[in-house]
Each structure stands twice: as structure tokens, then as C-alpha cells.
Amino acid sequence: MRRKVALAAIAALCTGLLALPARGGGAASVRAVWMEYDARYNTFWQQLKKEFEAANPGITVDNVVVPWNEGHDRLVTWIAGNQAPDIAIVGTRWIIEFNKMGVVQPADTLLPKAFIDKFIQPALEARINGRLYGVPVALSARSLYYRTDLVKTPPQTWQELLAAAREASKSPGVYGIGVSGKKFAELTEYVYYLYGNGGDFFVTNPDGSYGRCRVNDAAGVDALRFMVDLVNKDKVTEPNVGENDRGTLQDLFLAGKLAMIETGPWFGGMIQERAKTMPFAVAPMPHNQGKPQQTLLVTDSIIVFKSAKNTDAVVKFLEYAYRDGPRLEFDKDFGMLPTEKSVARDAYFQTAFYKPFIQQLPTAKPWPLTADWSKVEDVMWDAVTAALLNTKSAKAALDGACREIDAARGIK
């Protein structure tokens, strides 16, 4: 959830169940807010707290686990009531808003260089004007899942993807590949085709800032046209794409009705739980012929608030939490990819399932880090859906999207 909440309107809410634990008296304390990935999440952090406190008797850790859909507004509420935690997990995009409030401490001045150097470079996406404001705690990328009984050779290019989808569609009751036209929390699958065609959402200015919308250039339009053709010309997707989002596409694959789907590493666990006998494999995201292979990278980050009283204790706790052992356990438990180079080398990530994800990380690309992203994403979803449903051409839909996005961002 990325809604901005007026500070004045919610300051009075900083009471009762929304209050964070008070700071301890004698011992140094670290107050931490963790966004919940699943029911086991609290157990993970409580065990880490117990081990850390035993190893550091002068420091206590107070954990608060919050559902993701409440996390943003809870943090804004605590900030408004001068009750901000010391550290918190946030969606990386939230950092822009919190930094504008002036409440986030730059991570690259607080944490040792050796600590920052542990991370896989593309995962360090929480940069604003050259400064790093958060360190990655959860990392995901997107890959192609395919039925090995229906797709004998994983497609590397769009042209091979189309050929494989056509062939798989000949099997009774099977659609070649899933395409979602229903608005979802992530702009699937357009971003995969955009990045796989060398495209981007914005022009990048010389200073690194984002300029005009550019999804209506050749790379962006061709990416959407390819999707539209999959649906309407080649007819290798499920019918009624406007009724399906990522979740329902995953259900269709699990039910044996899709030969291919583009999604993240968590889906492997879902297959093991719900379709154990299904023969499947994972491959890097296909790209347009002649363009470099590139997939989407998504992170959540840990930030340190400026109001933290015991920064030495915070640094100690983060260094403890980011040891290889706890990080590998976290990734295994919650279906994440490694954020640290040393963990990426662990045997757990060298399997046939994980290798396609890991090999894409050096060139993977994140979402644009911009405060206007929620608006941009809404406009883009409308454009993609209009093109998929044939109410507008790909070019017309993206021209209109760029006009609306530039206007919303104050670019004439």
C-alpha cells in the first residue's frame, strides 16, 4: 500500500494498539518494525532477537510485526507522533516519501563500507541523488516457468516463445502462455517485455533523474504490440485476459491449463505444495531477438530512522542479522533470492531451479525509484489493458499514457 496519509489527520492515532513498545531503561534498545511475509515471520525475528541478546547482553531488541497492507500508514502514524522505530522494513519505493519527510538516515554514512560491499550491486537500488538510504532485505526477480512435457526447449527469444506457445496450444485444454490484463499490485507482464526489448519507463537525465515518459518509443510500443499479438492475433493465451491477474494465472498453471507463465521464485514452492507431480522447469526471461536479456528485479529494504537513539546498537544488530546463516535461513523460509554475494554462492542456490534466477541478477533492472510511481503504474495499467482488449492500438494507448504521466509529473 502506497497511499500518502496526511500527518495532521493521523497524529492523534498514535495511541493504543498502534503504539510501539517504550524504550528500555538501562540497556540500549533497538526498536524494529518488520513487515509480515507469512505466518512464520514473527518466529524468525523472535529467534534472532533471542540469539542476538544472548550474544550482546547490553542490548535489547523490541520486535513489532505488521501486515504489509497496514505497514505504510502505521509508519507514517508513528512518525507523526514522534514514535518512529529505530529500523523498519519498507517497500523500497516508500523511501522516497520518508526521505522527503526528513526522517531517514543515509545508510552509507551509518554502516561500514565492508557491510555495504556484501550486497549484490543491482540490489542496492535505494539510492536518491547518489546516496544510499536503505539496504536490501528481500530480493526477487522474474523468470519463465514452463511445463517440460509441453515445451521441450526453453525459449530464449520472443520469437522462440511464440513458437513454443503455438506448439503447446495444440494440446487439448492447454493455453500456450498466460497474459494478465487485470490491474494488479505489479505491472505484469508489460514490464518484462519492455525491459526485454531494451526499453524503459522514463528518459534518464544526465544527473540521473527521470525525465519524460518514454514508453511510447519504438521499444515500448513493440513490447506492447507483441503482447497484444499473443492475445488477439496468435491466440496462444488464455481467453478473457482482462479477467486475470498474476494470482489467477498462477492458479491456471497449477491446474495444468497453461504451458508457460512469467513470475517469481515463490511460485516454485506453490507448485511443490499444490501440483507436486507437474513436470516443470525455470528459464531466464525471454527477450526480443537482438536485444540484451534483462528481467525485473524487486527489493524490500531496511531503513534506519534519524530518531534512532542508539545507532551503535542498531549497527551491531544489523551486522548480526546479515550474517550468512540468518540470511540463508530467511531466503529459504520466505522464498527470496539472496541479496548478498556470499549467500548467492551457497549450494542451496546452485540448483537447476534457482540458477536461472541467480544468473539474471547482474543485469536485472528495478522499477523506477520515483515518488510518482503509483500514479504512473495506474495510468500504465489502463493503457496496457486498453491495448489487450483492442479498444486502442498499442501506439495510441502508450501515447495517451505518456501525455497523462508527463502532465501528472509536471513535465510539459
Per the rule left: phi > 0, alpha: psi between -120 and 50, beta: everything else, 290 is left
Strands 296-305 and 135-141: antiparallel
Confidence of residue 186 (pLDDT cuts 50, 70, 90): confident
* Structural contact between residues 127 and 323, judged by C-beta atoms closer than 8 angstroms: no
Does residue 257 sit in the same domain as residue 225? yes
Look at residue 354 in the predicted model and tell me its pLDDT.
97
Residue pointed to by grid coordinates 554462492: 345
Query: Tell me, what DSSP letter sits at residue 58?
Result: T
Q: Residue 69 and residue 118: Cα distance in Å, rounded?
A: 30
Residue pointed to by grid coordinates 536485444: 291
| Mean pLDDT to the nearest integer, 182-197 | 92
Look at residue 211 in the predicted model and tell me its pLDDT.
96
Look at residue 39 in the predicted model and tell me its pLDDT.
79
Measured CA distances, 293 to 12, 228, 289 (Å) = 50, 21, 9
Burial of 364 (0-12, 13-18, 19+ CB in 10 A): buried
Domain assignment present for 198: yes
Does residue 122 sit in the same domain as residue 135? yes
* Structural contact between residues 288 and 197, judged by C-beta atoms closer than 8 angstroms: yes
* Structural contact between residues 330 and 139, judged by C-beta atoms closer than 8 angstroms: no
Confidence of residue 11 (pLDDT cuts 50, 70, 90): very low
Number of structural domains in the chain: 2
Measured CA distances, 95 to 72, 126, 128, 199 (Å) = 10, 7, 9, 25
**Predicted confidence (pLDDT) at residue 284 exceeds the cutoff of 90:** yes
Does residue 187 sit in the same domain as residue 57? no
For 219-243, write each residue's pLDDT tens digit.
Answer: 999 999 999 999 999 999 999 999 9
Q: What is the pTM of this model?
A: 0.86
Domain assignment present for 160: yes
Q: Residue 330 and residue 300: Cα distance in Å, rounded?
A: 13
Does residue 289 sit in the same domain as residue 249? yes
Helices and strands in the chain, H and E counts:
17, 15
Does residue 20 sit in the same domain as residue 120? yes
Does residue 315 sit in the same domain as residue 355? yes
Q: Residue 230 and residue 335: Cα distance in Å, rounded?
A: 30
For 286-312, write each residue's pLDDT tens digit.
Answer: 999 999 999 999 999 999 999 999 999
- Whichever domain contains 125, its CATH number is 3.40.190.10
Does residue 356 sit in the same domain as residue 280? no
Q: Residue 257 and residue 309: Cα distance in Å, rounded?
A: 55
Start-to-end C-alpha separation, the chain: 29
**Predicted confidence (pLDDT) at residue 3 exceeds the cutoff of 80:** no
Measured CA distances, 2 to 75, 77, 135 (Å) = 12, 14, 19
Look at residue 19 in the predicted model and tell me its pLDDT.
60
Query: Which residue range is the domain that position 188 belongs to?
Result: 143-294+372-408
**Predicted confidence (pLDDT) at residue 8 exceeds the cutoff of 50:** no
Does residue 106 sit in the same domain as residue 172? no
For 101-123, write each residue's pLDDT tens digit.
Answer: 999 999 999 999 999 999 999 99
